[in-house]
Structure 1
Amino acid sequence: MPEDQPEPREPNPMEEFLRQFGITPGADGTFDMNQLLGPLQQAMAQFSRQMAAAGAGGDGLNWTFIKDIARKAVAAAGPDPSPAASETVAIRDIVGLADLWLDQQMAFGRTTAPAATWSRAEWVEHTMGTWEQLAGSVSSSLAAAIGALMHRGAEQAPEAAGMTAMFEPMMRMAATGMLSAQVGQGIAQLATDVLSGSDLGFPLTDKPVTALLPTNIARFADGLDVPMADVRLYLALREAARQRLFAHVPWLGPQMLALIEHYARDLTIDGDAFEDAMEAQLSGGLTPERLEEFGQQMAGRLFRPALTAEQQEVLGRLETLVAIVEGWVDDVVAQTTANLLPSADALLETVRRRRASAGPSEVALKTLLNLELRPRRVRDAANLWAAVRSAKGIEERDAVWAHPDLVPTGADLDDPLGFAEHGHVAHTEIDDLDAQLAQLIAEERGREEGQPGTDG
């Protein structure tokens, strides 16, 4: 190469991004800001129109875009027919029978809402508000990651620092769109796996409703040597019991959601994975379709895997609470079906195996919130509730739910007979985390004031 010719430069991601809009640097790699003002404004307007048409934009997660992604992903996962009228009637009859049986085995009365039969898409619609509450706080972590990326970009390419600042709103919109797509796909993955409205062990609807998903139940039952009617009835018993509990224990649902929200608030974005994703987007063209594609590719990789000590504590509390809820459901349904449903024991073991495996729901929760929810001690919790019931009866067993200080802790699960005899000794001191959770619950109840209440 002749000495008077400069060494060829490697184009940086910002240059590649600008080339999409016909903006190229001079021979020395610099940009004339005065000449580029018009093209820059046109480029930003073009991308903003694309994202607005897709329903995405702003610094926070865009839930119109998320729901659209979730609905498309659900449709792509296979047939999802709306339940026929005859099927809806059949499910209501099954839930009615389940309620009749449960009346004899628990202290909590029936919920007021009629039983529901949902397609996967309808599950997405009915639970979207709760996911917005739980995942909305992730946007603060996203904003911090975007700021760090922009700062690094300005340091690495100082000649383009002015344009980097001008394009920051577009970058924020692109990053938000990518994470929104990831969240939408996580919700869709849950929709293809859950069997009922509260199958995950915590409430996802504003008001208690016993809802079953026939399409997913049919897949669950495939290969089981159990009549479909028995499978539906058993799952209806579990869901109806859970919904009665949430309806009649007003602190329980809000506390579970407050724990998840507290956990999600401290999520951090993996800066390296995030930067790799953004560079790939910049060099390949920004469109809503590519944001969706990158959201799928980056699922499970954007959140920093390490958790803080406080997140570990919150996760431990949440896992224990879910285990206590599911263990109570196990005991209630086992007693309910003891002389009425011969296949109940086999179905309980199937539910336990499903719960213990790292299935689609666990993967989806990790995609959504980096949440690995593994309530390992459900069997211990079921034994504890059985011990309380045997020692004191159904009314006393269910009276334990009257206040959060009365419910068993992880330590109580190690001594079910001791808990059955003495109960849980509540701590008199409240720590900072408890105070924050109490505030979240109070705020949640405040938002519900003026709205029709639930039964109980």
Structure 2
Amino acid sequence: MTDEDRSPEDDFQDLLRQLFGAGGQIDPEQIQKLTGMNIDPTMLAGLMQQMQGAFAGADGGIPWDSARTAALHIANQDGLSVTSGQRADLDQAFALADLWLSGVTSISALAQPARSLTRGDWVEQTMPVWQEAAEPVATSITDALLDALGQQAPEEMRGVVEGAGRIMRSVGGSLFAAQLGQVIGRLSKEVVSGGDVGIPLLPVGEAAILPQNFADFGQGLEVPEDQLALYLATRELAHARLFRHAKWLHLHVLSQLTDYARGLEVDTSALESMADRFDPENPEELRAALESGALMPPRSEAQQAALTRLENVLAVIEGWVEVVTEEATQRLPDAGRIAEAVRRRRAVGGPAERALGALVGLELRPRRLREAGAMWRAITAAVGAEARDGLWDYPDLLPTPEDIDDPTAIIGRLQAAARGEAAPRDEMDDALERLLSGEDFTDTDDPADGSAGDAEGPEGPRPV
């Protein structure tokens, strides 16, 4: 490409790569030439150094490897590992918990033994799910950042900024990835088990406990450590068994999670205000805004509806796990105290979990856990464990919010099925049967007035 063929966008992108690429040097004269502003290179030095990685081969995407690296750095700071004694104690707890669970649920045991994970192991295992859940939010933030920077740029530079959109998005993506990595790293110091956060973070069919965090959870409970290990092992196995049995459930939860996240928007007015007063020597304001949720505007009605659906699914899952764990650990004298501590912990969440909720605009704490637990207890008392667990066989059997409010209807359906009675038909059943039989809807229903068509046409009976 000759100099005559180059556009201002090409020059600007080359400048950004020079500034932010590995070993790049700041050329104040080049900046002044492009912007017409008096910019102090020393003032920019700190920001440039932090962005080195963002522009080394920037492709406009989110650098998830950077998030993983940041999370692992925090997770491994203490340098703790799992001792052979800890592994042995937890292996014994998992073995006994497996026996107890098999006596209270028809959902089969896992195909592989549960594990003891370090904090770093937990980060490695769960990062793919965090990426899937956070990517829609990260994309929204980076797009909004590009828009805000374009509006704040001088009029003569806006076209150039827009032309360098792919590289500019890397700035927002790098900031978001760095924040996400820090939050996940801190979260690795709080979680006790694979199912602790509520969503399926580990691969399907896997269960694990983090011994490094186990002792912190038991502080102040005054509960023997062996009882605490048995209860948490039972709860973790119940969670993992459920997702292994209901093979559709993992995708169902993650689909609802990403559908909610894709609808998130960024408060562009807050971002523009921040861009207007942004101090390159103090980028902490943008980081703090990302982590505090200040860039997330109030939820729309559609977003609130999506969140309600997600919370219902999480409540139904955790309610079942709680009830099954309660039945399996009846032999533990302090099971009730431990269960209440788990409920309080899930209701409040730790600092890192709250930061994660602000960063991705989502709280992963089911608000109707007690009501869902009461529903599952009523179902168990009425129809038994096998019929109760059969509700996880297909997605359309999953209890609805109305069932959580009043389980009478779902109990009635289960009792009718146990007696061999057909469930009441509705309009959807009739329409589906007609569709599968190949019947032409236009021959029987007039979409203009909704009335049934005549059996005979103007020239006699219609052929069947």
TM-score range, shorter chain: 0.7 to 0.9
Q: Residue type matched to 1:414 in 2?
A: D
Distance 1:341 1:358 in 2: 25
SS at match of 1:405: helix
Normalising by structure 2, we get a TM-score of: 0.75
Distance 1:176 1:302 in 2: 17
**Is the aligned partner of 1:331 residue 2:323?**
yes
Correspondence for 1:127: 126
Residues paired across the two proteins, number = 393
Q: Residue type matched to 1:112 in 2?
A: A
Contact 2:372/2:404, CA 8 A, preserved across alignment? yes
Correspondence for 1:118: 117
- Structure of larger gyration radius: 2
Distance 1:153 1:427 in 2: 57
Q: Residue type matched to 1:243 in 2?
A: A
Q: Kindly tell me: are residues 180 and 211 of structure 1, through their superposed partners in 2, closer, same or farther at Cα, counting changes over 3 Å?
A: same
Correspondence for 1:21: 26
Q: Residue 170 of structure 2 is aligned with which of 166, 173, 177? A: 173
Distance 1:426 1:54 in 2: 60
Spell out, residue by residue over 1:54-98, the C-alpha distance to the aligned partner (whole angstroms, 9 max, x if none): 98943222111101111223345xx35111123222212211111
Superposition pairs for residues 136-147 of structure 1, below 5 Å?
Answer: 136-147=135-146
Superposition pairs for residues 22-171 of structure 1, below 5 Å?
Answer: 22-23=27-28, 31-33=32-34, 51-52=52-53, 57-75=58-76, 79=78, 81-154=80-153, 157-161=154-158, 164=161, 168-171=165-168
Contact 1:405/1:426, CA 8 A, preserved across alignment? no
Q: Residue type matched to 1:84 in 2?
A: T
Which range moved further: 127-136 or 157-166? 157-166
Report the alpha carbon displacement of residue 427 of structure 1 after superposing the two structures with TM: 8.2
Contact 2:115/2:208, CA 8 A, preserved across alignment? yes
Distance 2:56 2:381 in 1: 55
Q: Residue type matched to 2:169 in 1?
A: R
Contact 1:406/1:425, CA 8 A, preserved across alignment? no
Report the alpha carbon displacement of residue 320 of structure 1 after superposing the two structures with TM: 0.9
SS at match of 1:136: helix
Report the alpha carbon displacement of residue 132 of structure 1 after superposing the two structures with TM: 1.3
Spell out, residue by residue over 1:228-253, the C-alpha distance to the aligned partner (whole angstroms, 9 max, x if none): 11111100000000100000001111
Q: Residue 338 of structure 2 is aligned with which of 329, 342, 347? A: 347
Correspondence for 2:413: 422
Correspondence for 1:9: none
Q: Kindly tell me: are residues 33 and 216 of structure 1, through their superposed partners in 2, closer, same or farther at Cα, counting changes over 3 Å?
A: closer
Report the alpha carbon displacement of residue 309 of structure 1 after superposing the two structures with TM: 2.2
Q: Residue type matched to 1:381 in 2?
A: A
Superposition pairs for residues 357-376 of structure 1, below 5 Å?
Answer: 357-360=348-351, 362-376=353-367
Correspondence for 1:300: 292
Q: Residue 306 of structure 2 is aligned with which of 308, 314, 323? A: 314
Superposition pairs for residues 224-243 of structure 1, below 5 Å?
Answer: 224-243=221-240
Q: Residue type matched to 1:70 in 2?
A: A
Contact 2:194/2:208, CA 8 A, preserved across alignment? yes
Correspondence for 1:258: 255
Q: Residue 388 of structure 1 is aligned with which of 379, 396, 402? A: 379
Q: Gapped runs of 5+ residues in structure 1? A: 1-16, 431-456
Spell out, residue by residue over 1:212-234, the C-alpha distance to the aligned partner (whole angstroms, 9 max, x if none): 01122211100111001111110
Q: Residue type matched to 1:23 in 2?
A: P
Q: Residue type matched to 1:386 in 2?
A: R
Distance 2:36 2:252 in 1: 57
SS at match of 2:398: coil
Contact 1:70/1:185, CA 8 A, preserved across alignment? yes
SS at match of 1:59: coil
Q: Residue type matched to 1:336 in 2?
A: A
Correspondence for 1:437: none
Correspondence for 2:452: none
Which range moved further: 234-243 or 370-379? 370-379
Q: Kindly tell me: are residues 231 and 24 of structure 1, through their superposed partners in 2, closer, same or farther at Cα, counting changes over 3 Å?
A: same
Q: Kindly tell me: are residues 302 and 183 of structure 1, through their superposed partners in 2, closer, same or farther at Cα, counting changes over 3 Å?
A: farther
Report the alpha carbon displacement of residue 422 of structure 1 after superposing the two structures with TM: 2.9
Report the alpha carbon displacement of residue 185 of structure 1 after superposing the two structures with TM: 2.0
Give identity over the alignment, percent.
33
Q: Residue 211 of structure 1 is aligned with which of 201, 208, 212? A: 208
Q: Kindly tell me: are residues 88 and 415 of structure 1, through their superposed partners in 2, closer, same or farther at Cα, counting changes over 3 Å?
A: same
Normalising by structure 1, we get a TM-score of: 0.77
Contact 1:320/1:410, CA 8 A, preserved across alignment? yes
Distance 1:426 1:24 in 2: 78
Distance 2:333 2:255 in 1: 39
Distance 1:322 1:356 in 2: 13
Between 1 and 2, higher relative CO (CA 8 Å, sep ≥ 6) is seen in: 1
Q: Kindly tell me: are residues 51 and 277 of structure 1, through their superposed partners in 2, closer, same or farther at Cα, counting changes over 3 Å?
A: farther
Which range moved further: 421-430 or 138-147? 421-430
SS at match of 2:74: helix
Which range moved further: 212-221 or 188-197? 188-197
Correspondence for 1:12: none
Report the alpha carbon displacement of residue 34 of structure 1 after superposing the two structures with TM: 12
Q: Gapped runs of 5+ residues in structure 2? A: 1-18, 415-422, 430-464
Distance 2:48 2:313 in 1: 45
